[in-house]
Copies of this chain bind each other. A is one copy, B any other.
Amino acid sequence: MEAAAVRAWQGSRERFDAGRTAAPRRSELGAGEVCTACNLRHDVSPLCPRVLEEVGATRRRLARGETLFRPGEPFVSIYTIRSGSCKTVMLTGDGREQVTAYYIRGEFVGVEGVGTAVHRCEAVALEDSEVCVLPFARLEEMARAQPQIQRSLYRVFATEAARERSVMLMLGTMRAEQRLAAFLLDLSRRYHERGYSSTEFVLRMTREEIGSYLGLKLETVSRIFSQMHRSGLVHVQSRLVKLRDPLALRGLIQATFQ
């Protein structure tokens, strides 16, 4: 059943259409300005359309469940999500797997491969999606000539590293309810940054995937959603989440001394 979908999306890789990026031909975009080439707000994504063009970015469509890259595959590109979302999954020594990240439109995927020859995790589309493919060698070359691109690149790495660090902190110190609160607030912030509602969004991950990301079992995730719903913190209707009391959610995270 997935095969058909994959076929339908196939052959959709195309070179960037230069005509589409005609509008902003200046070397700099103002903060908050929309980059038509990749649908990214420039204050969020440090790589402007001029860079994407010059770097020879291509596009790639992914059907839900399709894999963008796998562990062991040579690292040649990083990706920005034009539309849709994806998760990354790592495999532990034994067969188990853990969701290590969740990316939405405008975010960078595949950065974990930098500095090594190969990717370390699997990236899977959570819904039909489209990504920009940025050849890393070219990006690096440009960064060498233009220090501001270098800094932008570092910023992309730093964002990824900061995310991983905060997950580490969450897994090491928080209880289940706090983890879920932190997860929702993180999503809220990221949706907001990208111009979507910060209080109402659709989860693309299953309870099991959320649990895997948070170091919890799916039943625990479900129970805590129900419990938050009952206490009026959030409204949860299957995958649709409405944050009713973001302040109280934030309070949950901070109000545990010891």
**B254 to A158, Cβ gap below 8 A?**
no
In whole angstroms, what is the CA distance A196 to B253 when docked?
A: 42
Interface residues of A in 51-71 (CB under 8 A from B): none
**A114 to B157, Cβ gap below 8 A?**
yes
Min distance, Cβ A106 to any Cβ of chain B, angstroms? 18
A231 within 8 A of B: no
Q: Classify the interface of chain A: helix, strand, loop or mixed.
A: helix
Interface residues of A in 123-171 (CB under 8 A from B): 140, 144, 147, 150-151, 154-162, 164-165, 167-169, 171
Residues of chain B within 8 A of A42, CB atoms compared:
none
**A90 to B165, Cβ gap below 8 A?**
yes
- For A223-258 the 0/1 string (1 means CB < 8 A from B) is 000000000000000000000000000000111111
A interface, CB within 8 angstroms of B = 90, 92-96, 98, 100, 112, 114-116, 120, 140, 144, 147, 150-151, 154-162, 164-165, 167-169, 171-173, 212-215, 253-258
